[in-house]
């Protein structure tokens, strides 16, 4: 059993930022980083919107810097995947895949989220080669090219608006006629001349060998299919918080699996905090994750200092 003051689950921007604040408060901190220490940013080449970098920074470099910063401050980073969290007061017991156990006075859940994908033919092979789940991040690479956005919520509509500023044509594909996006955003999209909508349509297949060349769409009413050319497909059909392992732990999740937190990143269990994309339905960005991680780190450190 490894004893520590604070165990952070997740080594993405939220977990690393939390660790920096906790370690600098004199709290012994371990990060269990799971299968992808570094988190989602490892999937992207150029990050241009993280404050403090004059030029775009590769995702792996930004995360490598964060890990080195944590280590310099004495934080231990492991690749343990936590599968169980037990206890309703400190110390909490955490079990990793393989059986290793931790005991911690406080816990921060910073397990992030993964994109919800379409699950259609061609999609998996062309991820990173025209198929993306982040228009804010990857849209710039499609400047001057025709693109498609799939989804009917605010993310899809905002992605379409964002892309319409840099792409000559944006096709918004949605499986219904009604939208979850708010009326104001829908109106803006409708008034943007280079965005066209294909409603009652689903993507049947992503086309392309090395890069995306288009998609096969099926109209769910008429059942007719059509090939629509495009260089990029932005999937915005939701995100999946990586919190399934918390079922049964007593930590409260919302119906979509997000960890419920208050303004101090506290969960319903005293001593368990959460931050980053696993708590965030709207602003899934690295700088936001780092910000909520900082809050969790500060609050968890205060909690530890009161309880040891």
Ligand X SMILES: Cc1cc2nc3c(=O)[nH]c(=O)nc-3n(C[C@H](O)[C@H](O)[C@H](O)COP(=O)(O)OP(=O)(O)OC[C@H]3O[C@@H](n4cnc5c(N)ncnc54)[C@H](O)[C@@H]3O)c2cc1C
Q: Which residues bind ligand X (CB under 6 A)?
A: 9-15, 32-37, 39-41, 43-44, 47, 49-50, 81-82, 110-113, 115, 133-134, 137, 242, 245, 276-277, 284-287, 289
Q: Which of 80, 138, 159, 277 is catalytic?
A: 138
Q: Verify whether residue 88 is a known catalytic residue.
A: no
Nearer to ligand X among residue 164 and residue 285 (C-beta): 285
Inter-CA distances, 168 with 44, 45, 171, 302, Å: 24, 24, 10, 52
Determine which helix (DSSP H) or strand (DSSP E) holds 137, and give its type and residue range.
Answer: helix 135-138
Determine which helix (DSSP H) or strand (DSSP E) holds 205, and give its type and residue range.
Answer: strand 201-207
Q: Verify whether residue 137 is a known catalytic residue.
A: yes
Nearer to ligand X among residue 3 and residue 49 (C-beta): 49
Burial (CB count <10 Å: 0-12, 13-18, 19+), residue 93: middle
Nearer to ligand X among residue 201 and residue 239 (C-beta): 239
- Shortest Å, Cβ 152 to ligand X: 20
Q: Verify whether residue 134 is a known catalytic residue.
A: yes
Q: How is residue 73 written in tokens?
A: 């401050």
- Shortest Å, Cβ 258 to ligand X: 11
Q: Which of 5, 16, 70, 134 is catalytic?
A: 134
What ranges make up the beta strands (E) of 230-271?
232-235, 239-241
Q: Are strands 131-132 and 147-150 parallel, antiparallel or unpaired?
A: unpaired
3-state secondary structure (DSSP) of residue 200:
coil
Nearer to ligand X among residue 56 and residue 218 (C-beta): 56
Q: Which of 5, 16, 70, 137 is catalytic?
A: 137
- Shortest Å, Cβ 215 to ligand X: 19
Active site residues: 134, 137-138
């Amino acid at each position: 059993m490894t004893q520590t003051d604070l165990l952070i689950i997740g080594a993405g921007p939220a977990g690393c930022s939390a660790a920096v604040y906790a370690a600098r408060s004199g709290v012994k901190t371990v990060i269990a980083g799971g299968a992808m220490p570094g988190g989602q940013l490892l999937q992207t080449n150029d990050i241009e919107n993280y404050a403090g970098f004059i030029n775009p920074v590769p995702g792996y470099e930004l995360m490598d810097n964060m890990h080195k910063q944590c280590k310099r401050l004495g934080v231990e980073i492991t690749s343990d995947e936590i599968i169980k969290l037990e206890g309703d007061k400190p110390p909490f017991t955490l079990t990793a895949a393989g059986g290793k156990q931790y005991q911690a006075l406080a816990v921060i859940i910073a397990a992030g989220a993964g994109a919800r994908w379409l699950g259609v033919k061609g999609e998996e092979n062309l991820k990173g080669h025209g198929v993306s789940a982040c228009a804010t991040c990857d849209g710039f690479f499609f400047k001057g090219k025709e693109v498609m956005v799939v989804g009917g919520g605010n993310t899809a509509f905002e992605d379409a608006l964002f892309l319409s500023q840099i792409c000559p044509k944006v096709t918004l594909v949605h499986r219904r006629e009604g939208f979850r996006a708010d009326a104001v955003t829908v109106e803006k999209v409708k008034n943007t001349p280079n965005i066209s909508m294909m409603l009652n349509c689903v993507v049947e297949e992503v086309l392309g060998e090395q890069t995306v060349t288009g998609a096969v769409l099926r109209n769910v009413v008429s059942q007719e299919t059509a090939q629509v050319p495009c260089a990029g497909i932005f999937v915005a059909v939701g995100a999946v918080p990586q919190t399934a392992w918390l079922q049964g732990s007593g930590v409260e999740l919302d119906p979509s699996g997000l960890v419920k937190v208050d303004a101090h990143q506290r969960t319903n269990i005293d001593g368990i905090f959460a931050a980053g994309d696993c708590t965030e339905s709207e602003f899934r960005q690295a700088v936001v994750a780092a910000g909520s991680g900082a809050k969790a780190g500060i609050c968890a450190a205060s909690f530890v200092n009161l309880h040891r």
